[in-house]
A and B are shown apart, each in its own frame.
Chain A
């Protein structure tokens, strides 16, 4: 076993362990934090595959932004675990069916001949100055440009929809208009009055 193998097995154990923890932890905050750990471990695995752009983007986007908002929401919610467990046995057969179906589908793909380690050619070694970010950028903006732009448009629609769903125009709100505040001159607020000084009687 070489040094790289040890790193690989370490990350894999952490990944599988934390992924199990996500679904078994009783406290939802612990689940979310374990999911963060799982993301981190899988980004370590991607680094071993020399996919540094994807690995760091995973940390940047999922760990740095998505999971923060997730935690934010989970912490604010006062979750009653007993009520969540109420329907467990009622829905159990349905869940089992879905789980079996997924396991079967995955088995069909993974056990097939195409995924044998012997059929996978070893990736060619890259020159020292090979930048995976540059290659990815080239592919996205040339070969896959339509797919990429479509994905962007879908995201934009989602943003617009999210804002449209939550935007309410309430009347009588006492919000300040910052540009109006900045534009205020002294003359608008202060009136200089000249008057004779009053004497104490």
Chain B
């Protein structure tokens, strides 16, 4: 690393060398995050098809293998799907706004990737350790809706437009509940930095995780996350049985795949954030021998996988919400719950420390 820095200094002079070195280093780190993420997205689609298939007493994809190895049946499916999508033609409908039509998938995908910049994978491994990490993630996830709206409008299609309108209203309403749930977290952690939020949950066992004192907020956050990513049972933006495929009905080939990638990387992002914020991130559930031997990164992966499994589970289990029910849940149920919880939390935080000791509340309020 020092050698590379030296080389940059020699090549570009003392003023430009360090800046360009940081640029090159970050570009490499970004690739190191995005490549595994894309692989995870590919195999999340495979996992989704398999898990839902077993829940519905089917087998799911089991044909495509690598090099004809029989016990890998199905594992080549995501790769084959990707190759198929790349080969297909991108059709631009007549009367569509060409520039915005092509821009829309990019606008959905870019924020879904940009948010990963501040996600810590273990105490040291994080691309950008910024103070306002949580705020940054909220800002990035709120940008994703533009892709959907623009796609719906630029397609010049009634179905796509209906999907875009539904999605816009839904995402904006659930963002509020999500933000309020996160306000509770930062009241407890006194920090917007994701690494510090995990450090605030240290203390020996899973009792110290924010999951326990903020359990309703965890539910609100996770359900809002499902709604924010337009996943079933909140998938009215796509609604195959009502508006064909919603906002991306006119997209084909790679342009459609980019929407698909964005949706799945958003799912992984929501699961990762929920495990970092509420489930203690890389902390083991108990600070005793067999659990502490497992590296923290594996714990984080396990928590993420469990939450992703819940995403798939919801899709296989619940029927789609009716539109007015979605709005009711967001505005009349979640937002009042979060407001009451913020008030309660504030009251508990103002209690004298001795009184908090009487109830075992000092576990969480330091």
Q: Mark A24-66, 1 if CB is under 8 A from B, else 0.
A: 0000010001001000000000000000110011011001110
Q: B193: nearest residue on chain A (CB-CB)?
A: A131
Please choose the segment from B29-37, B62-70, B167-175, B299-307 that sits at the chain A interface, where 4 or more of its residues have CB less than 8 A away. B167-175
Contact (Cβ within 8 A) A52 B131: yes
Beta-carbon contacts under 8 Å, B326-346 to A: 328
Contact (Cβ within 8 A) A68 B145: yes
Does any Cβ of A come within 8 Å of B42's Cβ? no
Interface of A is mostly: helix
Does any Cβ of A come within 8 Å of B138's Cβ? yes
Q: A6: nearest residue on chain B (CB-CB)?
A: B19
Most buried by B among A33, A63, A64, A178: A64
Contact (Cβ within 8 A) A53 B132: yes
Residues of chain B within 8 A (CB-CB) of A64 are 138-139, 142-143, 145, 175
A64 to B137, CA, bound (A): 12
Contact (Cβ within 8 A) B135 A68: no
Q: B144: nearest residue on chain A (CB-CB)?
A: A64
Residues of chain A within 8 A (CB-CB) of B149 are 68, 71-72, 75
| Given A2-B15, A65-B175, A69-B172, residue A178 in contact with residue B325 (CB < 8 A) | yes
A36 to B135, CA, bound (A): 18
Question: 8 other contacts beyond A33-B100, A59-B142, A64-B142, with CB at 8 A cut-off?
Answer: A2-B15, A36-B146, A52-B132, A56-B139, A63-B143, A64-B175, A71-B153, A132-B131
Does any Cβ of B come within 8 Å of A3's Cβ? yes
| Given A63-B143, A68-B172, A72-B165, residue A3 in contact with residue B19 (CB < 8 A) | yes
Which 8 pairs from chain A and chain B are nearest by CB? A64-B142, A3-B19, A60-B139, A59-B139, A56-B135, A131-B131, A56-B139, A52-B132
Interface of B is mostly: helix
| Given A33-B150, A64-B143, residue A133 in contact with residue B132 (CB < 8 A) | yes
A63 to B169, CA, bound (A): 15
Does any Cβ of A come within 8 Å of B365's Cβ? no
Beta-carbon contacts under 8 Å, B133-187 to A: 135-136, 138-139, 142-143, 145-146, 149-150, 153, 161, 164-165, 168-169, 171-172, 175
Residues of chain B within 8 A (CB-CB) of A65 are 142, 172, 175
Supply 15 A–B pairs (Cβ within 8 Å), ascending by A.
A53-B135, A56-B132, A56-B135, A60-B142, A64-B142, A68-B149, A69-B168, A69-B172, A71-B149, A72-B169, A75-B149, A75-B153, A75-B164, A133-B135, A133-B192
A71 to B167, CA, bound (A): 13
Residues of chain B within 8 A (CB-CB) of A59 are 139, 142-143
Does any Cβ of A come within 8 Å of B130's Cβ? yes
Does any Cβ of A come within 8 Å of B291's Cβ? no
A131 to B325, CA, bound (A): 41
Contact (Cβ within 8 A) B146 A68: yes
Does any Cβ of A come within 8 Å of B215's Cβ? no
A34 to chain B, nearest CB (A): 12
Contact (Cβ within 8 A) A60 B138: yes
B135 to chain A, nearest CB (A): 5
Contact (Cβ within 8 A) B136 A178: no
Most buried by A among B16, B135, B168: B135
Residues of chain B within 8 A (CB-CB) of A175 are 324
Q: B154: nearest residue on chain A (CB-CB)?
A: A29
Residues of chain A within 8 A (CB-CB) of B100 are 29, 33
A75 to B169, CA, bound (A): 13
A57 to B136, CA, bound (A): 9
Residues of chain A within 8 A (CB-CB) of B145 are 64, 68
A189 to chain B, nearest CB (A): 19
Residues of chain B within 8 A (CB-CB) of A75 are 149, 153, 161, 164-165
B181 to chain A, nearest CB (A): 15
A71 to B171, CA, bound (A): 14
A54 to B168, CA, bound (A): 24
